[in-house]
Structure 1
Amino acid sequence: MLFNKLPDDIFAPLSGQNRQVYQSVLLELADLFFDEDLIDPFIAKDLVRSTIENAVVKLGVRRWVAESEEEAELPTSSADYTNRIYRRLVQTGWLEEEQKIYRTYVLLSPSVSYLLRNLVSIARLEKRSYGGTVLNVLSSLESAINDPVGRGITLSEAADTAAEFSAHLTDMMLGLRELKISLAESHNPQEIVRGFFDRFVEHILVSDYKTLKTKNNPFRFRRQILSLLRDLQFDTLKVEMLTEHYQMQYEIESETAEAMVHQHINRIIRIFESVDQRLAIIDDFRYQLEKRVADTVRYMDKTTPGMAARLSRVIAKLAEKDGREIPPVQSLDQYGFISPSSIRSPVRRRVETAPRVITQQQIDPKVLYMRQLFKEWKARREVKVDRIEAYLDRHFLNGENLVSASEFTIDSIEDYICFSYVRHLNSLGKKARKTAERYQIEFDEEYVRVADMVECRGFKIHRNNA
C-alpha cells in the first residue's frame, strides 16, 4: 500500500506552518529533476542547494516558524534558509544523498518522483483538451485492430487513456460543485466574479469546451470508437491474436490475458457510452455558475447611493404607526424597490428538443395504382424508333417492297403513334436517319381512310433493298 512505498514523514514539510516555503522549493526542484535534457538522474548537491536558494530569494521569505526545539535561532540569511530546508527535505525522505568518490549527489526515489510529479500537476492544474484525448483513444484502438500481433498492446494504452479521461470528467464535476458552494457562500460581488474567472475559466474549464457544441466536436468519433469495439468483441480471430500478444507482453497465462483483453474493451465501451449523461451534469453545473455570475454582474451597478438611509427612514415611518397601520402606497416612484417590476424572473434554460422517430408516410394504394397507370399510358405514347421499325417490318413480311397507306393496320395506341410518324420519319432527326434511308415515301393527291380510324393523304412506301 501507500505507506510501504513512501517514507513515514514524507508529508511533514507540507503540513507545517512553513508549507508555503516548501511548496515553492519543491516546484523549483521538480523543474530541475524532471528536465527533459537531464540524462543522469544524479544531480550534484551544489546545484540542488543553489536551486533551493533561488526559490527562497524568489519567494522573498520573511517569516519562518521553528520546526523543532533545537531551532532556537531563526535564519538570518538565504544561506541559512537553504541549509534548513535542504536538511529537512533529506530527513523526511524527499531527497536522497549518494556519495561518489569525493562528490555528493542528490536523487529522488521512484515513489517520491511519481508523487512529486502528481503534486506538481495538481498545483498547476492545466486545462485539458477533449479532442486530443478522444483522437488518442481512436488511433490506439485502430492500431491494435489493424495489427493485433505487432501493436496489440495499444489496446491497453487506449483503455488507460479512456480511464484517465473518465477520471478527469469526475474531477471536473467535483470541482464545479466545490466552486458552486464557495460562490454561494460569498456575499461580495467582486469575489464572486473574480473566483469565477480565476477558478472556473482558468483551471476547471476545458480548453476546447466550446467545440463540444459545434458539428466539429471531438465526440464525433465516439460512434466510430464504439462501432470498432463492438465488432472486435465478436471477432474471435483478432481477440485470439490480441490474447497471444498480451500473454507475450505481460508474461501471463492465456486465460488471464483473454480476460484482460475483454476487460479493456468493456472499459472503453462503458466510458464512451456514458459520456452524454456526464456532460449533461457538467453542463447543468456550468449553467448554474454562469447564471449566478451573470446575475451578480447585472446587479453590481444597480445599487443606488443612499439606499440604506432611505430604507431606514421608511422603516422608521412604519414604526411610528406601531405596526398596526401601513400607509397606502401612492406612487411606485417613491417606493420602487418593492414594486413587482423590480422582481426579475429567472431566465429559462433552453430545453433540448427530445428526439423523435421519423416514420415514412404511407401513400394510399389507389394513388400508387393511378401513378402506375399514368406511367404505363405515358410509356405507350412515347415515340421510339425501334417501335416504328418493328411496325414497318410487320407490313413487309411477305417480301413485298411496296405498301400503300390503305394496307396499314392500327390495332393499338402504339400502332397509332407509329403510323402517325411513318409519314414523317425525316422529322425525327438523327435518331431515325438510318430508318429513313431504308424507306422512300410517295404521297398521292387523294385522301384515304386507314383502319376506320385515321383519314389522311394517301401515300406509298418503298423499301430499299440495299
Structure 2
Amino acid sequence: MTTTSSTTTPSLFSVVPAGIFGPLASPNREHYWSLLCRLFEEFFGPDAPVPPSHGFPRREITAAFERYLLTDDPWEDEDGQAPDASLNTRANAIHERFRLAGWLRQERIGAREMVSMPPAVTQLLSTLVEFSEHGPTFLSAKMRSIELQLQQVSEGRADGGTLDEAADQARRLLVSLSSMSLQVRDLMPELSKAETTAQFARQWFERYVSQLFIGDYAELHRADHPLARRSSILAMVQQLEAGPRRQELSAWYAEHAGNGDPARAQARLARSLSRLRELERIDEYLARLDEDIRQANRRALAFLDYRLRAPDRLDVLLRRACRGVLTASEDALRLPVAAGPLMDESRLRAPHRRPQPIPRSANATTPPTPEQLARLALLRRMKRARLVNAEDMARYVGRHLGDGDGIDSRELAIASIEDLRAYQTLLTLALRSHRVGGLRREDPLGRLLRGFRVELLDDGDHDNDYLRGPRFQIRRVASTARNTA
C-alpha cells in the first residue's frame, strides 16, 4: 500500500490572532514579555488558581499591571527618560495593547467587563515559556519514555494516542539533536569576543558545558545506555506495522482522528510509524554533533593557548608607545642609522640569483618479465576476491533477498570466493550485533549495512559445505522515502 504525506504548510494565524506577535516585536519587547510571563504565572498558567469560566474583571488585570509597574518599572521612551503618564493610564494602555494584539479577550457580562485569555493563546504562551526555559537535552529519559510507550502499545495496553505521543517525542528528539550542532557552531564566534581570558573561560564552561551540552553526553557510548536499545524500538515499530495490532490501531484512528475514513486513519498511522522509524538516523546526528564538538574544543584550546602565550596587557603597551611617540622631541625620534645616504644603491641587497639546476640522469629501469606481471595480476585478483565492500555486499544480499523482507542464512548460496567472503562478513556482523549494546558506531563493518540488518538466531548452528557457525537472519530495513513515495 502506498502512503502519502501531507506537504501543505499548516496555517498558524487561523489558530492564533494575526497581530499576536506585535508587542513582542516592538522596541519594548523585553518589557512586554516580562509582563506576559508574570500575567501567565499569576492568572492563566498551570501554577495559578483555576480561573473563572467567565474571566477576571478588567480592573483586576489593570491593577496587576499597576502593581508590576510599581515594583519594577524599566520602561523608557526614545530619549531615555521615564514616561510621564500616570500609573493607571499606562496600565490601561498596556491592557489595550494586549487586547488589540489578541493576547487578552474582553467581554461585557452585564455591566462588567471581564477579561480572559483564549485557549490557543494560552497554549502558545505556555510553549514559548517552555522554550525559553529549555536546558540540556537528556537522551536517556527521552529514549526510555519512547520505549515504554511503544511497549504499552505493542502489548495492547495503550491506544493510538500513546503511539502519537511516542512519535512526537521521537520527532522532537531528532530536532533537538539537529539544532544542537548549530548552537555549538554559533557559540564560538560569540565567545571569541570575550575581552579577558577569565571571561572567556567562565562563559565557555557556563554556556557551552552547562547549557548547550547534552545532559548525559558522557554516557552515550556506554553499552547499557537506552540509546543502545533503539534496535528494540525499531523492532516494535516493524511489529506494529505488520502485526495484528495494526488493524486495531487503524480502527482507533478511524474513530478518533479520521472521522470514520479508513484512508485518513491509515495515513495518520503511517505518519506516526514513519516518525518513529526516523530514530534509525540518530547515529548520523550524533556523528555530526561529535565532529562539531571536537572542532569547538580545538578552537577553544587554541584561543586559550593564544591568550596565555600573548604578552599581558598588549593593548596597554601599544597605547603607551603611541602616546610616547606623539609627545617625544624631534631628536628622540631620529632613526638609529649611520651617516650617509639612506637609500643609496650600494646599501641595497644584491639580487638573489637562483643557482643553475644540476643535470640529472634518469635511473636505469628494468622492465618486469611476463611471469612477474602475471604473478602481480594474480595477486591483485586474489586480494580483490577476498575484499568485501558495500557494493559487493548489496549485490550478494540483493541476489538472495529479492522482493522479500527477510531470509535465513541456510538459504544463502556460496558459489565463489566472493560469495564465501560475503557470507563470512554477514556472520561476523551477526555476532558483533548480538553483543551488549549492539554494533558499535565506530565499527568499520557497519558501513556495509545499507538497507538491511543482520540478526543472530538462538536455535543452534548451521553447517554448510565450507563453514560451521550460528544461524542468522537478514531483515530488510524500510526507509522513509519508500513509505512516502
Name the residue aligned to 2:49: 38
Find the partner of 1:13 among 20, 23, 32.
23
Question: Is 1:95 paired with 2:108?
Answer: no
Question: Is 1:107 paired with 2:116?
Answer: yes
Name the residue aligned to 1:49: 62
- C-alpha change, 1:168 and 1:263, in structure 2 (3 Å) is same
Provide the C-alpha distance between the structure 1 equivalents of 2:263 and 2:303, rounded to a whole number of angstroms: 60
* Deviation, structure 1 residue 202: 4.1
Provide the C-alpha distance between the structure 1 equivalents of 2:166 and 2:160, rounded to a whole number of angstroms: 11
- SS of the aligned residue for 2:84 comes to coil
Provide the C-alpha distance between the structure 2 equivalents of 1:176 and 1:319, rounded to a whole number of angstroms: 52
Name the residue aligned to 1:122: 131
Name the residue aligned to 2:76: 63
* Deviation, structure 1 residue 23: 1.5
* Deviation, structure 1 residue 278: 0.1
Provide the C-alpha distance between the structure 2 equivalents of 1:302 and 1:50, rounded to a whole number of angstroms: 59
- C-alpha change, 1:306 and 1:26, in structure 2 (3 Å) is closer
- SS of the aligned residue for 2:115 comes to strand
- SS of the aligned residue for 1:2 comes to coil
Any unmatched runs of 5+ in structure 2?
A: 1-10, 323-332, 350-440, 447-485
Find the partner of 2:180 among 148, 164, 172.
172
Provide the C-alpha distance between the structure 1 equivalents of 2:17 and 2:264, rounded to a whole number of angstroms: 34
Provide the C-alpha distance between the structure 2 equivalents of 1:318 and 1:215, rounded to a whole number of angstroms: 71
Question: Is 1:273 paired with 2:280?
Answer: yes
* Deviation, structure 1 residue 193: 3.6
Find the partner of 2:33 among 5, 10, 23.
23
Opposite residue 120 of structure 1, the aligned amino acid is V
Question: Is 1:155 paired with 2:163?
Answer: yes
Opposite residue 300 of structure 1, the aligned amino acid is R
Name the residue aligned to 2:418: none
Opposite residue 5 of structure 1, the aligned amino acid is V
Contact 1:244-1:257 within 8 A present in 2 as well: yes
- SS of the aligned residue for 1:3 comes to coil
Overall identity of the aligned pairs, in %: 23
Name the residue aligned to 1:285: 292
Opposite residue 248 of structure 1, the aligned amino acid is E
Per-residue CA distance 1:232-282 (angstroms, 9 max, x = gap): 3332x2211221122122233223322322332222112x11111101111
- C-alpha change, 1:256 and 1:3, in structure 2 (3 Å) is closer
Contact 1:28-1:52 within 8 A present in 2 as well: no
- Any residues of structure 2 matched to 1:228-243 within 5 Å, and which? 228-235=236-243, 237-243=244-250
Name the residue aligned to 1:460: none
Provide the C-alpha distance between the structure 2 equivalents of 1:137 and 1:318, rounded to a whole number of angstroms: 77
Moved more, 300-309 or 273-282: 300-309
Moved more, 276-285 or 287-296: 287-296
Provide the C-alpha distance between the structure 1 equivalents of 2:23 and 2:48, rounded to a whole number of angstroms: 29
Provide the C-alpha distance between the structure 2 equivalents of 1:54 and 1:291, rounded to a whole number of angstroms: 50
What TM-score do the two structures reach when normalised by structure 2? 0.57
- SS of the aligned residue for 1:98 comes to strand
- C-alpha change, 1:178 and 1:56, in structure 2 (3 Å) is farther
Question: Is 1:83 paired with 2:92?
Answer: yes
Provide the C-alpha distance between the structure 2 equivalents of 1:306 and 1:187, rounded to a whole number of angstroms: 11
Opposite residue 64 of structure 2, the aligned amino acid is T
Opposite residue 140 of structure 2, the aligned amino acid is G
- SS of the aligned residue for 2:253 comes to helix
* Deviation, structure 1 residue 30: 2.0
Moved more, 154-163 or 316-325: 316-325
* Deviation, structure 1 residue 114: 2.6
- SS of the aligned residue for 1:14 comes to helix
Opposite residue 302 of structure 2, the aligned amino acid is D
- C-alpha change, 1:257 and 1:296, in structure 2 (3 Å) is same
CA RMSD for the aligned pairs? 3.6
Opposite residue 179 of structure 2, the aligned amino acid is D
Opposite residue 24 of structure 2, the aligned amino acid is L
- Any residues of structure 2 matched to 1:39-438 within 5 Å, and which? 39-40=50-51, 42-65=55-78, 74-76=83-85, 78-147=87-156, 151-183=159-191, 189=197, 192-235=200-243, 237-250=244-257, 251-270=259-278, 272-305=279-312, 354-356=443-445
Opposite residue 98 of structure 1, the aligned amino acid is E
Contact 1:177-1:285 within 8 A present in 2 as well: yes
Per-residue CA distance 1:32-70 (angstroms, 9 max, x = gap): 21134532352343443343334434543251349xxxx
Contact 1:126-1:203 within 8 A present in 2 as well: yes
Contact 1:45-1:105 within 8 A present in 2 as well: yes
Provide the C-alpha distance between the structure 2 equivalents of 1:306 and 1:174, rounded to a whole number of angstroms: 34
Opposite residue 144 of structure 2, the aligned amino acid is L
Provide the C-alpha distance between the structure 1 equivalents of 2:192 and 2:77, rounded to a whole number of angstroms: 35
* Deviation, structure 1 residue 180: 3.2
- C-alpha change, 1:206 and 1:107, in structure 2 (3 Å) is farther
